[in-house]
Chain A
Amino acid sequence: MLTKKFVIKNEVGLHARPAAVFVQTVSKYKSKITIEKDGKIANAKSIVEVLSLGVEKDAEVTITAEGSDEEDAMRAIEKLIESNFGE
């Protein structure tokens, strides 16, 4: 199991397109992936749950991946967040 903390830096937070891109990216992996903010945990493959977290700019989130491709998944997520969701 891999766990990593991130700060979301892009202007709109995890809303709109960034949320969609995020969900699309993690859905490519078999691992169980969750995203946590302020103690609330969401299934990272569910757009509804991700939006419900209300991740704004500068929020800190913890992402956990567990499964056969957890390393690849985490690497992809890291790249995505670092690139500000390709904005």
Chain B
Amino acid sequence: MRRFEGIGVSRGIAIGKAFLYLPQKLPKISQSKDNIKIEQKKKTIDKALEKTRREISSIHKKLIADNKRKEADIFEAHLLFLDDPSIKEKINTLLQQGYSATYAVESAFEESAKEIEKIENEYLKERANDLRDVKERIIRNILNIPNPSLSLVESECIIVAKDLTPSDTANLDTKKVLGLVTERGSSTSHTAILAEALGIPAVVGIPRITESVNNNTMLIVDGENGIVVADPDKPTIKIFIEKKEKEEKEKVELEKIKFMKLKTKSGKEIEILANIGNPEDAETALKNGADGIGLYRTEFLFLGRENPPSEEEQFEAYRKVLEKFKDKPVIIRTLDIGGDKQIPYLNIEKELNPFLGVRAIRLCLKNTELFKTQLRAILRASIYGNPKIMYPMIAIKEEIEKANSILEEVKSELKSKEVPFKENIQVGIMVEIPSAALNAEKLAKYVDFFSIGTNDLIQYTFAADRTNEKVSYLYNPLHPALLKLVKFTIEASHKYGKKTGMCGEMAGDLKAIPQLIKMGIDELSMTPTKIPYAKKFIKDNF
């Protein structure tokens, strides 16, 4: 029995026989010149390009038909590489200098791959490999050496290879391939992306694994821990079979549970919502079974640009999410900027203590045009779903009153222009400043709901900058001082028949959830991928 460690890139356990995939190598392309006429060489290359284009197009079509969008995109990029004017120019120059057709292709692509690789970026390193993949296809077609294909796999197996190119993996028969093991690769490599999309366990980055195992060697692949075991003994096989069964059972169970509505044994409904930062996250939230959006951060619209987003742009961003969630609630938090997130076009004065300065609602109440534009966009989008508005960083009731009067102003403007919107849209606040938590009973009268933002509430309660590692020991969500504030807030809202949710890190923390449920929390909002686990945990324990 031998054990190898690599990088686990796709969860799951595979047990089966190795299939060594070592495609016929191309001969080394030497830097040679020849006396063949340029026109002839150009024709040869064009023919090879044409053939390559047909090959790639057919893979691309197959992937689209199989609904593998991500992998299809890779081959779309391959087609662009084939037609790249910069590479074509390089090839022509080399041909004019008298180099052979194969060397011209080899050198032009290799040079481009090196240019891309120069940039320190994992993603671009992979694109350089894409270029080499295309290059190899073209050269094979010039030399008439067939392109290797994994469609040769005949029975169930675990593929062991030096590396897998997108062309290799596109032909993968997913019914027969149990797992993937490669010598090269990283968590952003094609093997990783593909394996994850297909749900095939995969481990990459095990040096010389192709020399360490033979065809039909018995293998275990543990994609979660990045471990490969060759020739495992019986007890080891048993352990992994059990682990595999457990994982599969859990997966099936999570699949079932994630779309359920939760009710505790005492009959209390608990909604599990998602925190999202842009419209694209909404899809992930839905897939993971979110009962709604508990926190839609709107900062993404405002950061990294020279002017504020237009009302139209905001409207589209809100509408997109609302349409996806239909009648499920979507809590849109108005702009929370300032503090550590600076925006040049707002000309915010430099402050000595930005976290205690003009941020979030404080900024919006000063810059009412900015605030009004956002409110108008939200209201206009409101007819497409079930939105709620949430003000961040409320410290005192006057801030709610001020914000609400601006909201009313916007509403009457829209009414006078006969623009449709939901008049009874709910309005709530983030409770993330101790003064708001301590005074929650009073504030509850002015709002429809509370949402506790634990990250800031902890920071302000313990006077501990959450970005400063040296004071991270103070960052303890389960400290009684914090729990008291949480309890206060929940009880105050219930007294007035209103709900309290939570949208900080703490809401998705399985260690904290029991305490929160005991205190009567109504909603928990978390990173989408945590939702299935939280639902299962609550269902099993409450």
> Hey, which bits of chain A sit against chain B, CB under 8 A?
7, 9, 11-12, 15-17, 19-20, 23-24, 43, 45-49, 51-52, 54, 57-58, 82, 87
Contacts and interface: CB of A to CB of B under 8 A. Distances in A.
8 contacts: A7-B304, A9-B304, A17-B73, A20-B76, A47-B84, A48-B84, A52-B119, A87-B280
Interface string B273-317: 000001010000000000000000000000111100000010000
B77 A47 contact: yes
A51 B73 contact: no
Nearest to A53: B119
Contact of B115 (A11, A48, A57): A48
Nearest to A24: B80
A35 to B, nearest CB: 13
B142 interface: no
Contacts of A43: 85-86
B123 A15 contact: yes
Interface centre among A12, A46, A49 (most CB of B within 10 A): A46
A46 B112 CA distance: 11
A43 B121 CA distance: 21
Given A9-B304, A16-B123, A52 B115 contact: yes
B13 interface: no
B interface, size bucket: 20 to 34
A57 B112 CA distance: 23
A14 to B, nearest CB: 11
Given A9-B305, A15-B123, A43-B85, A51 B116 contact: yes
Contacts of B304: 7, 9, 57-58
Interface of B: 73, 76-77, 80-81, 84-87, 112, 115-116, 118-119, 121, 123-124, 127, 131, 278, 280, 303-306, 313
Nearest to A46: B86
Contacts of B87: 46, 48
Contacts of A57: 304
Contacts of A49: 86
Given A9-B304, A9-B305, A87-B280, A15 B85 contact: no
A54 B131 contact: no
B80 A7 contact: no
B305 A7 contact: yes
Contacts of B119: 52, 54
Given A9-B305, A16-B77, A16-B123, 14 more contacts: A15-B123, A17-B73, A20-B76, A20-B80, A43-B86, A46-B85, A46-B86, A47-B77, A47-B84, A48-B87, A48-B112, A51-B116, A52-B112, A58-B304
Contacts of B278: 11
Contacts of B303: 58
A23 B73 contact: no
A7 B306 CA distance: 8
A47 B76 CA distance: 11
Nearest to B317: A84
Contacts of A20: 73, 76-77, 80
Contact of A16 (B73, B84, B86, B313): B73
Contacts of A17: 73
Contacts of A12: 123
A11 B118 CA distance: 21
Contacts of A19: 77
B124 A48 contact: no
A51 B124 contact: yes
Contacts of B115: 48, 52
A58 B123 CA distance: 17
Contact of A54 (B77, B124, B280, B305): B124
Contacts of B313: 82
Contacts of A15: 121, 123-124, 127
B131 A48 contact: yes
Contacts of A82: 313
A7 B304 CA distance: 7
Nearest to A7: B305
B76 A51 contact: no
Contact of A52 (B80, B85, B116): B116
A4 to B, nearest CB: 12
B280 A48 contact: no
B123 A23 contact: no
Contacts of B280: 11, 87
A46 B305 CA distance: 26
Interface centre among B112, B118, B131 (most CB of A within 10 A): B112
Interface centre among B127, B280, B303 (most CB of A within 10 A): B127
